[in-house]
A = this chain, B = another copy of it.
Amino acid sequence: MMTFKYSNSVPKSNENATADILKAASDPKVISFAGGLPAAELFPVEQMKAASDKVFDLYGQEVLQYASTLGYLGLRKEIVKMMKERAVETSVDNIAVTTGSQQAIDLVARMLINPGDVVITEDPTYLAAIDVFKSYGAEMVGVPMDEDGIKTDALAETVKKYPEAKFIYTIPNFQNPTGRTMAIERRKELIKIANEADLPVLEDDPYGAIRYAGEFLPSLKHFDTEGRVIYLSSFSKILAPGMRLGWIVASQDFMAKFALLEQNADLHADNLAQYVVAQFLQDVDVTEHIKKITDVYEHRATLMLQEIDKQFPKNVHHSIPQGEIFIWVEVPGVDTKQLFDECIKHDVAFVPGSAFFTNEEQPGTFRMNFSNMNDEQIVEGVKRMGAAIKAVQN
């Protein structure tokens, strides 16, 4: 049988610790706080069906034909409006629709990283971004965070140490995995540091629209006067992730190159999904839909935090998210791999912190998700985790 000789882009091992965790967590009797899935019961199925019917009636042949790489103009116009609500003035010429924001992360990485280049990220950060950056040969340099997001004094030092770094990757709102939000002063400071060092900033904002506490904060792109911020977002968390649709907003110079790479990657994002989402955005009150999601997630976050305070030992720290779907927990002195195994025995799961760190792992940390579990599961799951923590601490 053929033994393939793979390129340097292919991981030597097929092992995937996260996949193993998600697999263990997918056992139906396990209460899983491990994934990052939106609440499926909030998906606007009937409205999507109505939008889809309308699209087939209005644009039947057009929607099934090859289309422009940068995306359906009707959808890009809707994105311009959404960006305005996010305090970013832009135009359809600065926007491309992508096959999820994951594709945008992959293509931007490919556009900027040569093997050996440094990429600066928050530490911890989104693990599928780490995987992508590493697949292009990046050396990852993490910058520590606190409750106000990335520590900009540490970032300034890191940038000084790595003047040839290729870009700063950041998730300012309700960060994955920590749930933390970058404070407004930190945002301004980050842009100042990037300007002084002439570094691009890759701002990943899939979560920002679902905020249930604190005030709206303008994105980094809002403060960008030099076209250095590449802004990414997604319909996955406000509408539906199964329709793989994200978008990128960047300078027109950058977008001209991006289009060449997107064309090579898959010609364009699925046209049916693009038309259906555009039609949905035209016909449905999205603000109301987002409010519905926000209310449910606020309720679940509040409940989970309350149960953590009740069921976990007193020395446990946790983040208090202002939006979206993650809580970051630290149980001092606990080995989270051992805790994970103990939790699986108790039929409950989370993601150990180790997956998210680019530098040294902060021991005893892990990520909990509450968006896809009902009240009963949250109460029972946190209780089981509390019991598991006590078991490994003894």
Contact = CB atoms under 8 A, between A and B. Distances in A.
Interface of A: 1-11, 14, 16, 37-38, 40-41, 43, 45-46, 48-49, 52-53, 56-57, 60-67, 98-100, 102-103, 106, 110-114, 117, 128, 131-132, 135-136, 166, 198, 200, 226-228, 236, 239-245, 251, 253-254, 256-257, 260-261, 263-273, 276
Contact of A111 (B9, B242, B270): B9
Contacts of A7: 110-114, 117, 136
A37 B66 contact: yes
Contacts of A61: 40-41, 43, 45
A240 B102 contact: no
Contacts of A257: 4, 6, 10-11, 14
By Cβ-Cβ distance, the 10 closest A-B pairs, closest first, are: A242-B271, A64-B240, A45-B60, A270-B270, A49-B56, A2-B228, A40-B61, A99-B266, A43-B64, A103-B266
Given A1-B226, A4-B112, A270 B243 contact: yes
Nearest to A254: B4
A132 B264 contact: yes
Given A4-B112, A14-B260, A102-B266, 19 more contacts: A1-B253, A2-B198, A6-B257, A10-B111, A46-B56, A46-B60, A52-B53, A52-B56, A52-B272, A53-B53, A65-B242, A66-B242, A99-B265, A103-B266, A244-B270, A266-B266, A270-B272, A270-B273, A273-B273
A6 B111 contact: yes
Contacts of A227: 1-2
A307 to B, nearest CB: 25
